């Protein structure tokens, strides 16, 4: 029996799942304190699911993750996936920027093995902490043979979502992760795992950006949020520092007069602008605006994920037609 257990690598980075507070009802302002061995020790039933290896990359909140940490996470995940004795990888992560790490790995890790990100919305010290069961579920999913070839997965609150679609949709609740209109991929309930759909867009072993983390720094890309009464000063500050700007535009990618001006300034300075939307569902399709302002339509990627794709794209080219093609495909 024991011989049949999968071997799972747990890559730990911090977040609320690794946090504790002085009081059981304290649900904010807690401290990251638990290392990966503490997380695993808190769920003894994990032993029945898998054999483990651990790597602690850092122990910080996810809004503190920078490029250097992101690259270390990606390299560690790739290293584990390249090993024939490892069946899957679980990454414990803060939820605030979890979708960014998840989507970066989805586009860059060269594997068909399951990679599962998991976090928690309540610290480990809280009444009804969600971390222990989320971790159990993440390992159940990573060790399940039906999880192969599905790209990077996010497991929270009994659901399995794709890194491509999932976004944080609630600031506090344990049901914080929502898959937008594309839906969850499946369910996990104890040891039981069932999938209902898969992501059709390219990822992991089929991605054009495989192992990009081995190829040096990614170009800086800023996100600018458009709104009523906008100004052009964000664009002026960005141009000269950033190689690209993602515009969290209104509606289906409409631009305020100032955003239009900003887009023209960026185009003239050779900075690529992606028109994404601050609305969290729907599509920004290419239109005559893109010809006029030299912009790229962001399609169904939210601004945080459009930023990741634009960085990967700009690492290899500044050819607008190639970048536009990638935005229609990913
Ligand atoms: N729920 C969380 O994990 C939020 C946390 N503060 C983070 O590291 O993103």
Ligand 1 pocket test: pick from 61, 99, 124 the residue with the most ligand atoms within 8 Å of its Cβ: 61
CB 111 less than 6 A from any atom of ligand 1: no
CB 16 less than 6 A from any atom of ligand 1: yes
Q: Could you report the predicted ipTM of this complex, rounded to two decimals?
A: 0.97
**Are both 187 and 299 inside the same structural domain?**
no
Residue range(s) defining the domain that contains residue 260: 220-329
Residue 284, domain CATH: 3.40.50.40
Among 202, 104, 203, 99, which residue's Cα sits nearest to residue 156? 99
What is residue 11's three-state secondary structure?
A: strand
Determine, yes or no, domain membership for 213: no
Residue range 266-303, pLDDT digits in tens:
999 999 999 999 999 999 999 999 999 999 999 999 99
Residue 154, domain CATH: 3.40.50.1170
Total number of domains in the chain = 2
Written as one string, the DSSP assignment of 84-105 is TT--EEEEE--STTHHHHHHHH
CB 134 less than 6 A from any atom of ligand 1: no
Say what the pTM is.
0.97
**Are both 33 and 90 inside the same structural domain?**
yes
Query: Among the three residues 179, 206, 233, which one is the final residue of a domain in this structure?
Result: 206
| pLDDT at residue number 299 | 98
Determine, yes or no, domain membership for 124: yes
| pLDDT at residue number 236 | 97
**Are both 157 and 236 inside the same structural domain?**
no
Mean per-residue pLDDT of the chain: 97
What is residue 311's three-state secondary structure?
A: helix
| pLDDT at residue number 1 | 46
CB 130 less than 6 A from any atom of ligand 1: no
Report the separation in Å between the CA atom of 139 and the middle of ligand 1, taken as the mean of its atom positions.
20
Residue 309 near residue 327, CB atoms below 8 Å: yes
What band does 3 get if pLDDT is binned at 50, 70 and 90?
Answer: low
Determine, yes or no, domain membership for 243: yes
Distances in Å between the Cα of 227 and the Cα atoms of 230, 260, 261, 264, 307 are: 6, 12, 14, 18, 19
Determine, yes or no, domain membership for 115: yes
Residue range 262-271, pLDDT digits in tens:
999 999 999 9
Catalytic, out of 13, 20, 25, 95: 95
Residue 95 is a catalytic residue: yes
Report the separation in Å between the CA atom of 17 and the middle of ligand 1, taken as the mean of its atom positions.
8
What band does 4 get if pLDDT is binned at 50, 70 and 90?
Answer: confident
Residue 13 is a catalytic residue: no
């Amino acid at each position: 029996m024991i011989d049949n257990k999968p071997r799972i690598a747990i890559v730990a980075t911090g977040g609320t799942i690794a946090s504790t507070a002085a009081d059981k009802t304290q649900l904010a302002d807690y401290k990251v304190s638990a290392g990966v061995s503490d997380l695993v020790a808190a769920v003894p039933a994990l032993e029945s699911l898998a054999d483990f290896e651990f790597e602690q990359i850092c122990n910080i909140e996810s809004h503190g993750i920078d490029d250097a940490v992101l690259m270390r996470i990606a390299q560690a995940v790739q290293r584990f996936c390249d090993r024939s004795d490892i069946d899957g990888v679980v990454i414990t992560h803060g939820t605030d920027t979890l979708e960014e790490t998840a989507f970066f790995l989805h586009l860059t890790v060269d594997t068909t093995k399951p990679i599962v990100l998991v976090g928690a919305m309540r610290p480990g010290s809280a009444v009804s902490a969600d971390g222990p069961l989320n971790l159990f579920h993440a390992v159940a999913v990573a060790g399940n043979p039906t999880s192969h070839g599905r790209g990077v997965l996010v497991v929270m609150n009994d659901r399995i979502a794709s890194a491509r679609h999932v976004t944080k949709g609630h600031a506090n609740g344990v049901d914080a992760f929502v898959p937008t209109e594309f839906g969850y991929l499946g369910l996990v309930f104890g040891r039981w795992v069932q999938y209902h759909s898969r992501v059709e867009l390219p990822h992991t072993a089929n991605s054009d950006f495989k192992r990009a983390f081995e190829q040096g720094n990614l170009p800086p890309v800023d996100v600018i949020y458009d709104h009523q009464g906008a100004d052009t000063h964000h664009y002026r500050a960005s141009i000269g520092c950033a190689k690209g700007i993602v515009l969290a535009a209104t509606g289906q990618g409409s631009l305020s007069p100032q955003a239009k001006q900003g887009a023209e300034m960026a185009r003239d300075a050779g900075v690529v602008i992606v028109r994404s939307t601050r609305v969290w569902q729907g599509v920004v399709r290419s239109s005559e605006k893109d010809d006029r302002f030299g912009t790229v339509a962001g399609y169904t990627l939210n601004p945080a994920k459009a930023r990741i794709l634009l960085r990967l794209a700009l690492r290899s080219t500044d050819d607008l037609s190639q970048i536009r093609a990638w935005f229609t495909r990913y």
